[in-house]
């Protein structure tokens, strides 16, 4: 067993997840950009709270953090007088509990389903609880390691495709929303990974990032990442995004995803739909960048995606609910954390396996066909 799991090989302040077998630390993203504080996560209960309270956030990051929180719990169990069935039941119940921490990002339930499959397969091959626990831990660790390669493939595919679609051969101005970088993944990022790839190829003039109220993932996290990587960046208010597009200073918009339905309808941070509507009006290409673990083929359209509603305090108090009260007591609040952008407003979906475009005059995507073309396991809602 690897005693020290090397992740992206370098210590940096953008590492949302720090892991070695038996130990998990999560960067407390609620304290960024001012303080870089890591919290020790001892078990799946602590993992659940870290995800629910947005210590860690971002669809891939919450899936990996959940998986690893149970891995450290298992690694530190010590000797238990359990049967094989006890071990399976324990893992399945903890995975089901972890999935309940946040409802919208499918990556979390996708990871739980895959880990459950690993556990059941291990049961067939081995007859000791320790062996089943070992199989679980190694599979969870694999998700951490694989994510960075996935994100770099998304970055490369996205940069090539965006360049192929624009008349400009450099000096691109790209607008992004929320945070989809190293802080939302195991490293490098998805939509922000595409921006990193464009920058590293010398193709990017400016990355515009929205502040992304009410939780300010853009002003607190994406701006932090862009400054950290010395990428030329401009922060704008969410409400300035349409005016910026009207000014002609945006060549493309690229966002992440929390759950993509079979037809390409995409749930993402609240405000994404606004951007897509404005992009459509201004004739600006609108791209979604996400790993295939963000696809939920069990949903035919975005109508069925559950949208998380978060605390009113995120609006009535500054700093996403952590600061002073700014709205009068007693005001009613509606605070959906995500919205759904219909496929007809999305130009293309950039994945680690390639870019999904619409066929002919279709207004929707055939994601099932894309996934099957790689003979990949079909992603469906968790079955645990």
Ligand X SMILES: CSC[C@H]1O[C@H](OP(=O)(O)O)[C@H](O)[C@@H]1O
Binding site for ligand X (CB under 6 A): 57-60, 178, 180, 184-185, 190, 217, 255-256, 258, 268-269, 337
Least Å distance between CB 287 and ligand X?
A: 12
Annotation marks residue 43 as catalytic: no
Between 118 and 241, name the residue whose CB sits nearer to ligand X: 241
Q: How many Å is the maximal CA-CA distance in the chain?
A: 67
Least Å distance between CB 180 and ligand X?
A: 4
Least Å distance between CB 195 and ligand X?
A: 12
Tally helices (H) and strands (E) across the chain. 12, 14
Give me the catalytic one of 147, 229, 258, 296: 258
> What 8-state DSSP symbol labels residue 310?
-
- With contact defined as beta carbons under 8 Å apart, do 344 and 309 qualify? no
Residue 173's H or E segment, with its range, is: strand 172-176
Buried b (16+ CB within 10 A) or exposed e, 70-93: bbbbbbeeeeeebeeeebbebbbe
Least Å distance between CB 352 and ligand X?
A: 12
* Cα angle 57, 205, 282; round to 5: 80
Between 322 and 383, name the residue whose CB sits nearer to ligand X: 322
Between 134 and 311, name the residue whose CB sits nearer to ligand X: 311
Between 51 and 137, name the residue whose CB sits nearer to ligand X: 51
Least Å distance between CB 58 and ligand X?
A: 4
Long-range CB pairs of 232-237, under 8 A, 24+ apart, other chains included: 232/204, 232/205, 232/206, 232/207, 233/206, 233/207, 233/208, 233/209, 234/206, 234/207, 234/208, 234/209, 235/208, 235/209, 235/210, 235/211, 236/208, 236/209, 236/210, 236/211, 237/210, 237/211
Between 204 and 209, name the residue whose CB sits nearer to ligand X: 209
Q: What is the distance between the alpha carbons of residues 334 and 367, in angstroms, rounded to a whole number? A: 32
**Which residue minimizes CB distance to ligand X?**
256
Active site positions, annotated? 258
């Amino acid at each position: 067993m690897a005693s020290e799991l090397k992740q992206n090989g370098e210590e940096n302040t953008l590492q949302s997840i720090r892991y070695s077998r038996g130990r998990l630390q999560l960067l407390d993203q609620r304290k960024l950009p001012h303080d870089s504080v890591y919290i020790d996560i001892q078990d799946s209960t602590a993992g659940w709270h870290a995800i629910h309270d947005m210590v860690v956030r971002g669809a891939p990051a919450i899936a990996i953090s959940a998986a690893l929180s149970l891995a450290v719990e298992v690694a530190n169990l010590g000797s238990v007088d359990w049967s094989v069935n006890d071990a399976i039941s324990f893992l399945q119940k903890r995975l089901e509990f972890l999935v309940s921490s946040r409802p919208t990002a499918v990556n979390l339930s996708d990871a739980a389903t895959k880990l459950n499959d690993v556990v059941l397969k291990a049961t067939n091959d081995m007859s000791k609880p320790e062996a089943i626990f070992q199989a679980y831990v190694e599979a969870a660790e694999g998700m951490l390691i694989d994510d960075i390669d996935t994100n770099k493939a998304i970055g490369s595919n996205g940069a090539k495709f965006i360049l192929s679609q624009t008349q400009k051969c450099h000096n691109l101005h790209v607008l992004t929303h929320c945070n989809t970088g190293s802080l939302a993944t195991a490293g490098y990022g998805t939509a922000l990974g595409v921006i990193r790839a464009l920058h590293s190829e010398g193709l990017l003039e400016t990355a515009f990032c929205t502040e992304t109220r009410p939780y300010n993932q853009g002003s607190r996290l994406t701006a932090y990442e862009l400054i950290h990587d010395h990428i030329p960046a401009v922060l704008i208010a969410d409400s300035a995004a349409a005016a910026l597009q009207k000014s002609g200073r945006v060549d493309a918009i690229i966002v992440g995803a929390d759950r993509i339905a079979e037809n390409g309808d995409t749930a993402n941070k609240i405000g994404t739909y606004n951007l897509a509507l404005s992009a459509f009006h201004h004739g600006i290409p609108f791209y979604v960048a996400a790993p295939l673990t963000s696809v939920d083929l069990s949903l035919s359209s975005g109508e069925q995606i559950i949208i998380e509603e978060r605390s009113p305090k995120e609006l009535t108090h500054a700093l996403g609910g952590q600061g002073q009260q700014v709205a009068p007591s007693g005001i009613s609040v509606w605070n959906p954390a995500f919205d759904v952008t219909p496929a007809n407003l999305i130009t293309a979906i950039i994945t680690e396996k390639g870019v999904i475009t619409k066929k002919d005059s279709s207004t929707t995507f055939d994601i099932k066909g894309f996934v099957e073309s790689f003979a990949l396991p079909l992603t469906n809602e968790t079955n645990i």
